[in-house]
Amino acid sequence: MDVSISPSTVDGTARAPPSKSYTHRAILAAGYAEGAVVTDPLLSADTRATARAVEAFGGTVEIAADESRLEVDGFDGSPAVPADVVDCANSGTTMRLVAAAAGLVDGTTVLTGDESLRSRPQGPLLDAIADLGGRGESTRRNGQAPLVVTGPIAGGTVAIPGDVSSQYVTALLMAGANTDGGIRVDLETELKSAPYVDITLDVLDAFGVEAERTADGFAVEGGQRYDAGGEYAVPGDFSSLSYLLAAGAIAAPDGLTLEGAVPSAQGDTAIVDIVERMGATVDWDREAGTIHVSQSPLSGVTVDVGDTPDLLPTIAALGAVADGETRIENVEHVRYKETDRVSAMAEELAKLGATVTEHEDELVVHGDESDLVGARVDGRKDHRIVMALSVAGLVAAGGTTVEGNEHVDVSFPDFFDVLADLGTTVRR
């Protein structure tokens, strides 16, 4: 489906949705436990896929009528053989976390997903499962889903690359606590997206599981039990907040107030500093969890997204509005998301009149040479591309039509409702 955005100003107050990253981990952690209540979860297409996986392993997940809480009856560290194929839909996080959980099963689990997910790399995780005493196979022998995982794994030491996905580390640490011997993960290359592992350590700690950094990577002892003490509350999502913060920086002359911005282990809190460095007026009350942002002339900056890959689309959109060059560095791993987000933003911003130079490991947006004009752009079936292009549409002369608005359901289901409430002219 298409969404059309007209040039608009925004004002008022909006709340960041709950964190997708924390919600995934909390649902699975509650599954590993006897159970727990997860409060303030993000219920999106991706996190619902993780909930279905917990149920496939023998747990149950009940959603409150107002979607404010999930009551999870877990499988207590012993996942059962699923009765059917586990469909992870478009969620790479689900597939990787669940593949490692499948390694604990005394039997075989088959995992698949949509066309996009079936193109994403899983080979290092499959190799790790095999090194731990299980079997991990790609049905097409290309390291991509569908996957067949047979356990149980006993634990041990594995070496994996750190520059493909931090989710491999997360998956192994979460499963490792329920093995007999624990799991030590040695990194063969520098860890990209490291703050996402910090999120994992934060959630593990909240569920009573001890994991630690080592000289070469991470380790978790075996024989541990997950226990959150009854409830676990999910913090707000700074990845999703980035689009609202960007909207305020380019289209809120009277200011925009964002709630739910409580500090956490999320690396994407960096977006607050980035927007401020570009010249927007930003006031973050960390204790209250509120950010006030006002439109100001923006200037290009240089940003390394090695630890914050999900921010690339937002930064690129801001760069198309800013004066001077915005250089986004260390981007190669961002090509292995729901789509190649580097090429996608380069090509789609160009349709809007931006001048963008794409390199293998860098994206340069030439704001001085860009004059945004409304056009029809392709969201590439990627929630982050759709939202970033929609933000750019706020200041593109004429109307901007973005294809695939339904894909925001992955992480920010009411994104367009929020934009409309803030004063944006939105037609779907």
The candidate with the shortest Cα–Cα distance to 386, out of 248, 243, 280, 225, is 243
Residues of the binding site: 20-21, 25, 92, 120, 165-167, 193, 310, 337, 341, 384
With the C-alpha atoms ordered 192, 345, 410, 15, is the resulting torsion angle positive or negative?
Answer: positive
Sheet with 231-233: list strands edge to edge.
60-63, 69-73, 35-39, 231-233
The candidate with the shortest Cα–Cα distance to 400, out of 282, 317, 292, 332, is 317
Residues of the binding site for phosphoenolpyruvate: 20, 92, 120, 167, 341, 384
The candidate with the shortest Cα–Cα distance to 248, out of 369, 423, 367, 408, is 423
With the C-alpha atoms ordered 317, 323, 324, 330, is the resulting torsion angle positive or negative?
Answer: negative
- Which residues are registered as beta bridge partners of 4? 401, 427
Distance CA 104, CA 79 (A): 7
E strand intervals along 16-88? 35-39, 60-63, 69-73, 86-87
The DSSP secondary-structure symbol of 311 reads G
- What is the set of active-site residues? 310
Q: What angle do CA 79, 80, 85 make, to 5 degrees?
A: 105
With the C-alpha atoms ordered 255, 259, 262, 267, is the resulting torsion angle positive or negative?
Answer: negative
Structure tokens belonging to residue 312: 């690339």
How many C-beta neighbours within 10 Å does residue 408 have? 25
Residues of the binding site for 3-phosphoshikimate: 20-21, 25, 165-167, 193, 310, 337
Which residue is associated with the tokens 């929020």? 418
Coil/strand/helix, residue 300: coil
Structure tokens belonging to residue 89: 């839909």
